[in-house]
Amino acid sequence: MTHPLDPADRRFAALPVHPGKIIAVHLAYASRADQRGRRPAAPSYFLKPGSSVAGTGGTLERPAGTELLAFEGEIALVIGTPARHVSLAQAWDHVGWVTAANDFGVYDLRSNDKGSNLRNKGVDGFTPLGPELLDARTLDPAALRVRTWVDGELAQEDTTDTLLFPLAQFVADLSQHLTLERGDVILTGTPAGSSVVGPGTMVEVEVDAPTAPGAPTSGRLRTTIAQSHVPFDPALGSLPAVDDTQREEAWGSREAAGLPPVVGEADAAAAGGRERFVLSPAQREKLEAAPVAGLSAALRKRGLHHCLLDGLRPMHPERKLIGTATTLRFVPAREDLFTAHGGGFNTQKQVFDSVGEGEVIVIEARGDAGAGTLGDILALRALHRGAAGVVTDGAIRDYEAVAEIGLTAFSAGAHPSVLGRRHVPWDRDVAVACGGATVLPGDVIVGDSDGLVVIPPAVLDEIVEATLENEERDEWIAARIAEGEAIEGLFPMNEAWKARYAAWRRER
C-alpha cells in the first residue's frame, strides 16, 4: 500500500510516493567485489527504513562517538508498477524511474548487527535520493553511469555494464520472495571508491545515461556532513567500536586508512588480492630444512612459548606443510544462526573459493571434532586454487576421499557428520584459536610429522636461522655420540666441546 506525500516534507521530494520499503544490494559491481576479495554467486540484500530517506542539499549528522562514516554512490530504482513473480524479461517494465542515491553507513556500528545493517545504515538521513527522476522506459539499463564526488574531487565512477548481475535481475529475484509495490526503492550497490568522510565534507552523486539521446541526468545529489553531539546510552545497547579491519574496509585500503603496510603487500595479488605476508622462495627453502621441533625450540628461546598447535595430526605424515595463514572461524551450532549463516555461499565456502596460492586455511572449530569442518569438494577446490594445505582443530569429513585428493591437511580426526551438527561458519580473516594457539592472517604455518607451529612473520628470519644453526650443531653432536663419545659435557656442550665445535665450523 502506498501513501501520498506531505508537500511540506522535503525528504521525499524526488519520489512519486512514500516508499513502503527500501531494499539495498550488498555487492553488485565487479570493481567493488574485487576490492573486497569475493564475488557472490547470487545477489544478497538488506533493508533500510523509510525514515532514512533524505533529499538533496541536506545535512547528514555523523553519530557521536563514531569515526568511520562512509559514502556509497549508487543507482536507485523506483518501482512504478507492482511486481510479483515476474520474469527477468519482464522485470524492467516494472521499474518506473531511476535516480541517484547515497547509501551512507557507519562502520563503527556494524559489529553487533552481523549483516542486518540496521544501525549502521538505517540512521535518519542516511539514504539521500534524487534530485530528479529519470523515466526508466527511455533508458537502457546496461548503459547507465554513476559518479560520486567528495568536495569536488571525483571519487567513484562506473557503469552498469560492469555489474555482476543486471539491474533487472534484482527486480525479478526480489519479486520471487515479496511484492514490490509502487514507490519501493532498490539501491543497486556501489562501485569501488567508497571511503570515509568527516564533518564539513560535501558528497555529490549523479546518475546519467551518457550515450542516450540528450544524455539525461538525475542532477547532482548533494549532502553535507555534520557532527552529532547526542551520545549513545550504554545502558540501552552496544556502543560504537572499530578495529583496523573495519578501518581498512571503510576507507577502501590500508593506505587510505593511514594504517601501516603489511609485510609483502607487493605480492598481494598472488595471495588472492588481499594484503598478506608472502613467503619468498629463499624463506620456503630454509623452512623445508627446518624441522618443527627445532622451530619450536627457537621460538621458546626467544620467549614465544605458545606457538604450538596441539592435538592435530597430519593426514600425510611424510609431507611437510609450509604456508601463510588465511583464517576461518566457526561458532557453536545454533539452529537460527545456521539458518542465517550456514547456507548458500557462506563464509566457509568463500574461504575455500578464494584461498591464495601458498596459503594454509586455518580453521577454528574450538577443538570440537563432532562434525566435519571440510569435505572432499572443498578440499578439491582448495587444491585447485594452489592452497598449501588446511589445518583444523575440528574433524574432516570424507577423510579417505580428501586423502586421495592430495591436499595436505592436519586435523583432530575424521567424522561423518556435516558441518551444521556442531558448527556455524561465522567469519574469516580474523584472529583464530586453533589447537590452543592464536593464529593471525598472514602468520607462517609449518607442519611435519612432529606437529605444527605458528611463526609471526616479524621474527621468521631470526627463528629460521637460529633453527638451522641449532640443527647443524645437533648433527655434529650426534656424529660425536655415534663415534662413542659420552653424553656428559657434550649434550649440552661444555666450554671444551664448544671450542672443538667452533674450530670445526671454522675449518669447514
Cα 210 to Cα 110, 133, 147, 206, 215: the distances in Å are: 36, 16, 12, 11, 5
The C-alpha atoms of residue 485 and residue 488 are separated, in whole angstroms, by 9
295 annotated as a binding-site residue: no
445 annotated as a binding-site residue: no
CA 84 from chain center: how many Å?
A: 33
397 annotated as a binding-site residue: yes
342 annotated as a binding-site residue: no
8 Å CB contact between 360 and 377: no
CA angle 401, 402, 404 (to 5 degrees): 65
Amino acid at 94: H
If 0-12 CB within 10 Å is exposed, 13-18 middle and 19+ buried, where does residue 49 land?
middle
Residue located via cell numbers 571508491:
193
378 annotated as a binding-site residue: yes
The C-alpha atoms of residue 141 and residue 75 are separated, in whole angstroms, by 10
377 annotated as a binding-site residue: yes
Cis peptide before 416, with omega less than 30 degrees from 0? no
10-48: burial string, b at 16+ Cβ within 10 Å, e else:
ebbbbbbbbbbbbbbbebbbeebbebbbbebeebeebeb
Binding residues: 375-378, 397-398
Binding residues for substrate: 375-378, 397
Binding residues for Mg(2+): 398
